[in-house]
Each structure stands twice: as C-alpha cells, then as structure tokens.
Structure 1
C-alpha cells in the first residue's frame, strides 16, 4: 500500500503498485469524490482513526510507504503521523515521523527507478496515464474522424427518407462550395456527384475531430451535442457565405431552414453518441474528474490538480 498526501487538495492523490490504495481527506463528504476521481478509498482523518483503519485493512501490517507532500510533514500531529510510525517487513531507512523509507526505487514510477525486485514498474493504466494532452489529441484525431463519418451516414439516411416524403431534390451546394474553395473548374447546373460527396463526408469527418476533443475533455452527452450542432451549422454558413455560394440563413424560406437545421442536428447528435462512446474507453475526462470532486452545482469549486488533469 502506497500513501501520498497532496497539500491543499480535498483528498490525497494516491497510486499503488499493489492490490489496494487508501487515501486521507479532511471532509467525510469528500470520500466518494476521492473514490471517483482518483480511484482510491478516501478516509476522512478528522472523523476517522486513520492508523487503526489502515491496520484493519492490512491485517495489522500498516502502509508500506507514506509519501508526504510539502506542507504536510509526517509528524505526530499530522493525519499520517500515526499510521506511518510503524516497523515491519518493509526495509529501509527511517524518515520524519518514524516512517520507514523503502529501498531505492521500490514501488515508484518508472521515472524514479525500478521496483524492489529489479523489474521495471508497470505504467499506470488509469485516467491519469491516458489523459495527457498528446495522447488525448491522438485519440481525438482518429476517433473524431470515425464519429464524424458515422454522423454523416446517419444524416444522409435521414435526408433520403425526408426527400422521399417531401420530394425535395438533391442539393449541390457542397460541391459548388468545394470547387470555389479549391479553385476547381465550376460547372453550371448539376454538379459532379463525387465532388458533392467529398465535401459532404469530408467536412463531417473533420468536424467530428472537434466533437471527439470535446468528449475527451469531459464534455459529453446531449448538452455537448447541442452545442456541437451550432458549430456544425456555423461552419457550413461560413464556408458557403464566404464563397458566395450561400446566403445568410435568415433569408432562406422557413421550410428550407427547418429542414437544414433538422439534418444538422441529427448529424451532431449521432456524431456525439459515437464520440462519447469511444472516449469513454479512456475513462472520464479532466472536466468530469473535476466535477466529481464536488457533485452538484457549485460556484466555488477549485481547479483540478495539474497532475490529475493531464496537462
């Protein structure tokens, strides 16, 4: 059992190489937050005998290692003074407060050395290791392209059903917009179908990367998909109006406006479902871990510690 106290945090930030981790927090209400955000069992040291609880959970052995942050020295009056003043099978030199220091490199992350048996420690598999900015962006690129393409397919199926009901002809605005953006030769009348599809699918796939980035940041669910729907409509209008192919939506016939908004909303929510499902495989995003510290609506919730935000 490895124990680390983070100064100024509502609960200690803990990582373990063994089977169980316990953490200490000041407020009993933060115990569930610690369990959600750090994957640990929180112990409110103001109302709990931490030393006794740790001995109970370890069969009388106590913690193997106590790692104290600056400002929470392991003295007798600290929350870990008692549990860290033990003697036992862990070899090493004594530290402040009587805690025993493990052998050099034992049980510490790869950057600090090897495990006590000489093996390289395993990389953490939780949200912390998956939440770096570089890893997040790599996953958002391919997952966003997949999610955006899926959203285009769902939107296209909906458009075909709507066209059979309303009799509306195919739109060639995407093709004409792409021709003007790329400098391609522009045909009058009906536009080439491959160009139309390239713009239709390509734009949707690229915008899916943004929606995946939202998911990995912790912006998931219907609220986020609703915000993304506005982004999708806005991106269309910027490109179409900048090239002179389109006109501001407020000048459209109301029927055409409603149909366009409906299909773009379908795209946004379908893309969001796929992006959220893929991002969930990496665990909660930084924003979600922050919200888990104090569930509910609060105006004064401090920022998530940088070590747990992945930035």
Structure 2
C-alpha cells in the first residue's frame, strides 16, 4: 500500500485493485462507481448544450441514487456488523449526505435545465457527492478493510451490486435510510420509478412532447369535469342529450349518417377535449399562462365546436340559438377551458425550479 492518510489509513483511491481485494470487492466496486460519477460531473461541466446537460444530470442522479441505496441496504449494515464499537457515527454522517442529495435531486428532477438557479443546484449536488465519496474512500472502506478479509469484501461487493441493480432510480427523501424500511419501500419504488423513467425518456422535461402530454392529460381532466357538470345540469333541467358532436365527427370523416350514435358522440366529445388540451399545453410552454391562458382556453373551446358544427352544416349559427341554450353551452365549455388551463399550469409548475416562482 502507498502512503497512509492523516487517520493512519490508506485511501481506497491510493490502492491497486489487487490491494482492494480484486474487481469484485466492495472497495473496487465503490471506487469504480465513484469514478463514473466523477466522469459524469466532468461531462456536465464540459457540455455547452443545455438539453444535453439536463440528460447528464438525469444519468448522474440515477447512478448516485442507486449507489446510495446499495450502501444503505448492504454496505452500512456490514460496516456496523464488523465494527460495532464505532458508534455508527461515520455511517450516520454519510446517510445525512445521502438525505441532502435526495432533497436536492427531488427539486432538480422537477426543474427545467433552462431555469435560473439550475446550475447552482447541480453544483451543490456535485459538492455533496464528492464529499461523500471522500468519506467512503478515505475512511469508511479502509476501516472495513482492516476487519474483513478479501473474500468477505467480495461477498459484500456482490450483495451491494445486486442491491444497486434492483434499487429505485429516483429521489425519495421521505423513505427511511435504514433497513428494513428502505428495503421494503424500495421494492415498489423500483417498479414505479422505472415507469416514470420510461415516460421521461419519451417526453423529456422542457420539450414540446412533454408539454403536449401534459396538455392531453389536462384535457381529459377538463372534459371529465365538464361532463360531470353537464350530467348534473341535465338531471336538474331535464335537457336531453345532444348528438350534434357525433354527427359533426361523421361529417368531418365523410361518413354522414342520420342515426344518433353514442359511440361517435363520445369519440368527438373526448377527442376534442384531448386535442384542445394538447393545444393548451403547447400554448403554456410558449408562455401563455395564468389568466390569459384561461381566457384563451375558454375562447378556443367555445368557438371550436361552433365553427365545426356550423361549417359542416350540422348545427345553425350560435347567433340563432335560444339565449338560454347558448348560455348553458357556453357555461359548460367555459368550465372545460378553466379546468384544463389550470391543470396545465399546475403540471408545468411541477417541472419548474422552485426559485423561479412561476
């Protein structure tokens, strides 16, 4: 081994792979993972493209969280088992770092890489990760090495790798940092995290695809609320169902049929809600939010149906409608526009850095 550090121990960083117990040893596995994290931090600093930097942070976050989960699940219990007189101070300190990383990454996960303060938050995470790595390589792992032989270190390493591969991939600040709580929670979280990862991969935060997806979801919510209001109003007033939406859709598709159809009606009703929701999501991404966004969404929803119904000849101009019927129709569609716009804004707010306040 090379020169010992101030605590009389030789850092894992200063040891050869053979001295660490071979490639499967927990010392070698930890050291290799730390090197990967260092490489990602260097890649972030060297990357000029904002979107690419966001992807680097996402990759680094996943790797750092898996690394920490495996430590809390396997490495720290092994350390406490082999060094029961250490009073758990060192592992408790590192677990505090892990908690801080989870808290910081929770915010960054919802942040647009273009938002003010994003880079500062990223560099705070880097600082904690580097501090954590030094504590492990200079202190915790060399101490464990003094009391556990190479074969035991390889056994711990294999268990650590298994836990790392099956761990959650996202920050969960409220989950316990100790077994068995983290292990029990980790099973379900690992599955749900991978579903969310797939969504983020297909529609990254800040992209038009993400905004369109948020808009489609908002449109479904808006349509559901509008439909509930319509059914309540019909129950109170006795107004019958209208099949105008279904006839309009069939006219648009060149499949005009005089018979009323619930299926065509529902397709037009919900399809329009999703379509206009996507438009609201993209408008929100372009900066049309708050009251202007609500007014625009209401106006588009009210006007969209009237334009299509009149243009296809299915319905008369709304100017010729009875005032009461026009008021009821406008009310329901205004509810859709209001709810959809508010949901779009709420979903967008979940993907903005908290420092922005928008």
Give the TM-score of the pair, scaled to structure 2: 0.44
Superposed CA deviations along residues 99-119 of structure 1, whole A, max 9, x for unmatched, are xxxxxx79733249xxxxxxx
2:224 is aligned with 1:153: yes
Superposed CA deviations along residues 231-261 of structure 1, whole A, max 9, x for unmatched, are 1111111211110012221111000010010
The structure with more helix, counted as a fraction of residues: 2
The structure with more strand, counted as a fraction of residues: 1
| 8 A Cα contact 1:130 1:136, kept in partner | no
1:235 and 1:106 mapped to 2: Cα distance?
48
1:251 and 1:130 mapped to 2: Cα distance?
49
1:137 and 1:106 mapped to 2: Cα distance?
25
Aligned to 1:127: 112
| 8 A Cα contact 2:298 2:334, kept in partner | yes
Q: 5 Å matches for 1:266-281?
A: 266-281=335-350
1:133 and 1:211 mapped to 2: Cα distance?
18
Superposed CA deviations along residues 207-226 of structure 1, whole A, max 9, x for unmatched, are 00111122223322233212
Instruction: Report how far residue 187 of structure 1 moved.
Output: 2.4
* SS of match in other structure, 2:45: coil
2:56 and 2:347 mapped to 1: Cα distance?
28
Q: What is the root-mean-square deviation of aligned Cα atoms in Å?
A: 3.3
2:319 and 2:288 mapped to 1: Cα distance?
30
* SS of match in other structure, 1:218: coil
1:245 and 1:270 mapped to 2: Cα distance?
28
In structure 2, runs of 5+ residues without a counterpart are 1-41, 50-54, 61-107, 117-202
Highest CA radius of gyration, 1 or 2?
2
Pair 245,135 (structure 1): closer, same or farther in 2 beyond 3 Å: same
Superposed CA deviations along residues 2-56 of structure 1, whole A, max 9, x for unmatched, are xxxxxxxxxxxxxxxxxxxxxxxxxxxxxxxxxxxxxxxxxxxxxxxxxxxxxxx
Aligned to 1:187: 258
2:324 is aligned with 1:255: yes
Superposed CA deviations along residues 168-224 of structure 1, whole A, max 9, x for unmatched, are 000100000011001124024xx1101100000001100001111222233222332
Aligned to 1:228: 297
For 1:110, which of 12, 31, 47 is the aligned residue? 47
Pair 217,283 (structure 1): closer, same or farther in 2 beyond 3 Å: farther
1:163 and 1:259 mapped to 2: Cα distance?
10
Aligned to 2:276: 207
* SS of match in other structure, 1:127: coil
| 8 A Cα contact 1:177 1:243, kept in partner | yes
Instruction: Report how far residue 133 of structure 1 moved.
Output: 11
Pair 129,251 (structure 1): closer, same or farther in 2 beyond 3 Å: same
Aligned to 1:242: 311
* SS of match in other structure, 1:169: coil
2:245 and 2:277 mapped to 1: Cα distance?
17
* SS of match in other structure, 2:207: helix
| 8 A Cα contact 2:220 2:274, kept in partner | yes
| 8 A Cα contact 1:222 1:269, kept in partner | no
For 1:216, which of 281, 285, 297 is the aligned residue? 285
Give the TM-score of the pair, scaled to structure 1: 0.50
Higher relative contact order (CA 8 A, sep 6+): 2
